[in-house]
Structure 1
Amino acid sequence: MENRMRKLTILFGSQTGSAQEVAERIWRESRCNHFHGPVKAMDDYSVTELIFENLVIFVCSTTGQGDQPDNMKKFWKFLLRKNLPMDSLKNLRFAVLGLGDSSYVKFNHVAKKLHRRLEGLGAQALCSIGLADDQHDLGADAVVDPWVQNLWQVLNTVFPTPAGLNDFEFPSSRWHVETSDVFLSNSADWLQWRDNTSLCQVLVNQRITHNQHFQDVRIIKLKSSLSYSPGDVLLVRPQNLPESAEQLLQILKNHNLHRLKPDTKLTILPRDDDMPVPPALSLPITLHQCAQQYWDLNAVPKRYTFQIMCNFTTSELEKEKCQELISAEGQEDLFKYCNRPRRTILEVLNDFPHASANIPLSYYFDMFQPIRQRAFSIASSPKAHAGEVHILLAVVQYKTTLFKPRLGLCSNWLASCSMNDHLAVAVKKGSFTFPLDKTVPVIMVGPGTGVAPFRSFVHERVWSGSADSDTLLLIFGNRNHKADFHMADEWKTLEHTGKLTLLTAFSRDQPHKIYVQHIIEKESSLIYKWLERGCWIYVAGNANNMPSSVRSAFITVLQEAGGLGSQQADNFISSLESNGLYQTETWS
């Protein structure tokens, strides 16, 4: 049948794993639609082969200040070569899907540039570019789902299904799984997923917010010989909490699924050369290791989970419910059932017991997402805190319409770590680039844990003897001065010794709420003087409305204190952004 299938290459650029996940979904659906071909990171693909391709789908995210993900940088650099003929990709038909966040100025910047460059080299777009937005009420899926659906309509029109083949076939699991009664002992050392991961010992795990405060924020200090610079981020590979792993094992036990036990040996084998087994699964592992360290048990399930359950459940009621949730008309219902209450995959398995009892183990690797690394801005100075690396951690716990509180996987696991425990971590270059000239004034806006990268930068300046209140201005904000003024003693000491200018905004310490943007506007005369001196501006913290509100506040300063018109002020800030003098690092 293979020679009757049509070739489709799928390439992704992914920083956190989301774009890879979408690319693998398209690859899986390509099999159902009788296409064949690989799914690869762009830098794992031989870019010189692109001139021989007829059909390629690109999925990419944007990271940092409009930068390419690490695993597509080489690919992109090659495409930018000036000596490439303008018709070098004339035989290529392509589609680009971008995953982005509209709270960033350069929203889906990479996808837009890639689409333009491919057309500039003579390639022909199959359909309009897809620009998914994490800030949408329905998340990225609001664009991804209809875009992918339209993609198949276009492809099956341009490249009709060969005669004799069904229009759609339910896909096999991506890998084959063998189980063995030759048990493996659980190994606490199975932590390193990649060569660049190091094990670092926990030195301090200390709460820094008031014990009565609703938000548990911690400083975690690790013993480390890792090399890093201010602005870099620490990637942490978390594990599931023990109770979550036990819950999954209990579900499997209740259904006596394949007579599995926690120490049953699993060997994962490739089913298709186009979908190799990842390094983390290349050696036999136990079911317990999988439940604790590989599968993300806190993740909200994707639509494909319900397609799998629909295919295997023996209950007509469950089948009907799954069919509703996977239909185009049922996407709002799926959002209400899964995304809005943040219902986890474990809770869904409990809600569909007949499906859970009949799903083959190999499909669990399709239903469960692998645990991804989480990124934290490094809060320590490599010079001032030699031999250590610090992060600020806000423990995520919140309530939805479900009875049980929602717990962030990584933050709650980190909060549970004890002194002398070891974490699997790696350092990645961050999006912030600080000025090398230590006389350049710097304004740092860091509400909440957004202050972390500025602690790194300021302490580096203090260590070098170049910190002073004329060049370092920190604007910090949170709810209460006494409850959540992160690292207050450090900032106050630096302020009193003339090494830092400090402005604060505490939203709940007075009847009317005051945020960092209000302080910027209130201190417009001071802020404008810094702008006149050619300062660099950095904004870090929770996405939501903060970044745009802060930007608007700087525009107000230029208007009120500088006398600029509205458009002039906006152009001034836009110019700073374009030249890397106004940088933003936010997270959802």
Structure 2
Amino acid sequence: MIPEHAPFDTNQRAALTALLPTLSPEQRAWLSGFLAASPAGAVVTSAAGGKSLTVLYGTESGNSEGLADKTAKAAKKKGFKVAMKNLADISVEDLKKFENVALIVSTWGDGEPPEAVEGFYKAFMNGAPELKGLKFSICALGDTSYDKFCQTGKDFDDRFESLGAERLVPRQDCDVDFDDAHAAWEKSLFDALGSADAGGAATLAAPVFAPAVEYGRKNPFPAEVLDNVLLNGTGSAKETIHLELDLDGSGLAYEAGDALAVVPVNAEDVVAALLKAAGFTGDEVVTLKGEEPCSLKEAFTYKLDITGLSRAVIKKYQALAKSEELEKLLADDAKDDFKVWTWGREIIDLLENYPVEGLEAQQLVDIMRKLPPRLYSIASSPKAHPGEVHLTVAAVRYHGHGKERKGVASTYIADKAKSGEKVQVYVHSNKNFRLPEDDAKPVIMVGPGTGIAPFRAFIEERGERQAKGDTWLFFGDQRYTFDFLYQLELQDHLKNGALTKLDVAFSRDQPEKVYVQDKMREQGAEIYKWLELGGYFYVCGDAERMAKDVHAALISIVAEHGKMSEDEAVAYVDGLKKDKRYQRDVY
């Protein structure tokens, strides 16, 4: 209740009294920051007529969009006339309308553009107009653990230049720890652009302020583990963990379809083995970029990727080792040999197979990148589990080249994230993976193994919203007896109507292996019928094999049951993508 002495009239007090109890902690924090920042925190932007900057982005998981938003806001502060656009929403002809372009784009998979911008990418590379007079610069996001690091950004950079556009500043290639590199690129960009020359009266735009709750990428929240449950039965070849975390007091909010970033800790035995291989005690003092000095053991445990064996890491190590064998592996014509050699190996194998005499601790840490967070599809609806977030994680353990290996984050979750422990997390929004706003639309979901995670969230969300549209799940794994993840929950959802249809494929329960794409083909006529009714089609899981097989199956289903040629079926499926009715969360 708002007290009578508060500086509001009767109607305002009544409105506030009704509103405030309905607000979430995050909404209260936002409102607090908004009022604290206004009017002094208002951003001054130029009137029409100022120098223009178009901030373009192409994103797979949301990072590029987030950085584009930062750049756009910074440009507004400086007085530029700013427009921010998704490459998926423009045509190549639109580029002729722009004066200055800042493009932030990620690379996905094996050097491929983000899925949502494949159409623009193909058109730009094969049929774009001349762009003389346009000025541009590119910030490329990638991952140095992949051979084709930032390939999409490189492709765009070369193509802009070939079309006659003028480069404002050199392309910036960013690894997974991209904040500093993006900030440096942004500064160079504004230095090159110079004054905005707004010339006209300034106007007040939306206030910019620091919210009271500041948990996020740069300040992860220490979430308490509420539960850690092994989902597979005894006898399974798999180890799948259901993890429940408490978000109370974090101010973090998420939607079904989002991901949770987990900041892992390297395992003690992995740290000890690496120290032994390098001949260090762990007490050596090292300095990481932008941080205070710390012990080598602390750096190995909490701060550095001490296992990832990428081309970038080997190149840096080779500068010290000067090995003829490594030099041959790094040659441009030895890419296949490089892939074969690095598979199943880690940094410790470099130290043991190609030792460097007199190697110093600082030299070793300088070849490593920072320990990146891992993104996991959220397996819960915030409506069904208020104040909590759930994950479905497959623990990775395998034997390679004489050693037992394990995934950094997945085994950290499996072995260390027990009830009562704290795990550093933040929410990663994925706007490209969302349920339809219209709850009457039918939904088809294909998620084998841990790919079921976001669909558990979708089913819960549809149930909480009492969606009228039908919901269909295709789930697959190895064995019915051991690996039917969330079986009882799914059966309950079938009873209560949140789930309409469930088709399962257990590949190793019969001599002939059966997968989700096989079940799709069996139900092809019904799938096509749902699509024709305006249905949405979702896929989550392995990008390399499963997602490609499911995509091929979808095209064949459309061709057969829509009585189309293959080209017509491909165009139909591309149309689903364009309309955001075919969405994928693959990795």
TM range (shorter): 0.5 to 0.7
Instruction: Answer yes or no: is 1:140 the counterpart of 2:142.
Output: no
Whichever residue aligns with residue 321 of structure 1, its letter is E
Contact 1:240 1:292 in 2 (8 A): yes
Contact 1:220 1:391 in 2 (8 A): yes
Q: Which residue of 324, 331, 345 corresponds with 2:328? A: 324
Q: Which residue of 93, 97, 108 corresponds with 1:100? A: 108
Aligned to 1:212: 235
Distance in 2 between residues matched to 1:360 and 1:119, nearest whole Å: 52
Distance in 1 between residues matched to 2:568 and 2:346, nearest whole Å: 48
State the superposition RMSD in angstroms.
4.4
Distance in 1 between residues matched to 2:119 and 2:143, nearest whole Å: 12
Q: Relative to 1, partners in 2 of residues 1:223 and 1:110: Cα closer, same or farther, differing over 3 Å? A: farther
Distance in 2 between residues matched to 1:531 and 1:513, nearest whole Å: 27
Instruction: Answer yes or no: is 1:522 the counterpart of 2:522.
Output: yes
Contact 1:300 1:342 in 2 (8 A): no
Contact 1:68 1:110 in 2 (8 A): no
Whichever residue aligns with residue 379 of structure 2, its letter is A
Distance in 2 between residues matched to 1:284 and 1:119, nearest whole Å: 51
Greater CA deviation, 518-527 or 415-424? Answer: 518-527
Q: What are the superposed Cα offsets for residues 290-329 of structure 1, whole Å, 9 maximum, x if unpaired?
A: 010111112114245345444x44xxxx633343334445
Aligned to 1:349: 351
User: How far has the Cα of 1:477 moved from its partner?
Assistant: 1.4
Q: Relative to 1, partners in 2 of residues 1:571 and 1:201: Cα closer, same or farther, differing over 3 Å? A: same
Contact 1:378 1:389 in 2 (8 A): yes
Contact 1:87 1:122 in 2 (8 A): no
Aligned to 1:178: none
Contact 1:237 1:424 in 2 (8 A): yes
Aligned to 1:221: 244
Instruction: Answer yes or no: is 1:68 the counterpart of 2:64.
Output: yes
Q: Relative to 1, partners in 2 of residues 1:507 and 1:348: Cα closer, same or farther, differing over 3 Å? A: same
Whichever residue aligns with residue 497 of structure 1, its letter is N
Instruction: Answer yes or no: is 1:289 the counterpart of 2:298.
Output: yes
SS of the aligned residue for 2:433 comes to coil
User: How far has the Cα of 1:134 moved from its partner?
Assistant: 11
TM-score by length of 1: 0.67
Contact 2:447 2:539 in 1 (8 A): yes
Q: Relative to 1, partners in 2 of residues 1:265 and 1:85: Cα closer, same or farther, differing over 3 Å? A: same
Q: What are the superposed Cα offsets for residues 222-268 of structure 1, whole Å, 9 maximum, x if unpaired?
A: 1113311101100001111101111232244x3x6xxxx53454445
User: How far has the Cα of 1:365 moved from its partner?
Assistant: 3.4
Q: What are the superposed Cα offsets for residues 205-230 of structure 1, whole Å, 9 maximum, x if unpaired?
A: 11101221111111011111331110
Distance in 2 between residues matched to 1:403 and 1:240, nearest whole Å: 20
Percent identity between matched residues is 27
Structure 1 residues 13-92: aligned runs within 5 Å:
62-64=59-61, 68-75=64-71, 78=82, 88=99
Contact 1:309 1:322 in 2 (8 A): yes
Distance in 2 between residues matched to 1:59 and 1:563, nearest whole Å: 38
Distance in 1 between residues matched to 2:484 and 2:114, nearest whole Å: 26
TM-score by length of 2: 0.67
SS of the aligned residue for 2:541 comes to strand
SS of the aligned residue for 2:107 comes to strand
SS of the aligned residue for 2:64 comes to coil
Stretches of structure 2 lacking an aligned partner (at least 5 in a row): 1-50, 74-81, 163-179, 181-214
Whichever residue aligns with residue 578 of structure 2, its letter is S
Q: Which residue of 262, 271, 288 corresponds with 2:282? A: 262
Aligned to 2:447: 446
Greater CA deviation, 101-110 or 225-234? Answer: 101-110
Contact 2:57 2:103 in 1 (8 A): no
Contact 1:381 1:456 in 2 (8 A): yes
Contact 2:309 2:347 in 1 (8 A): yes
Contact 2:144 2:310 in 1 (8 A): no
Q: Relative to 1, partners in 2 of residues 1:201 and 1:481: Cα closer, same or farther, differing over 3 Å? A: same
Stretches of structure 1 lacking an aligned partner (at least 5 in a row): 1-50, 52-57, 155-173, 175-191, 269-276
Q: Relative to 1, partners in 2 of residues 1:415 and 1:543: Cα closer, same or farther, differing over 3 Å? A: same
Aligned to 2:419: 419
Q: Relative to 1, partners in 2 of residues 1:110 and 1:201: Cα closer, same or farther, differing over 3 Å? A: farther
Aligned length: 460
Q: Relative to 1, partners in 2 of residues 1:525 and 1:207: Cα closer, same or farther, differing over 3 Å? A: same
Distance in 1 between residues matched to 2:426 and 2:486, nearest whole Å: 25
Distance in 1 between residues matched to 2:113 and 2:58, nearest whole Å: 14
Distance in 1 between residues matched to 2:285 and 2:136, nearest whole Å: 47
Distance in 1 between residues matched to 2:105 and 2:577, nearest whole Å: 25
Q: Relative to 1, partners in 2 of residues 1:96 and 1:455: Cα closer, same or farther, differing over 3 Å? A: closer
Q: Relative to 1, partners in 2 of residues 1:503 and 1:525: Cα closer, same or farther, differing over 3 Å? A: same
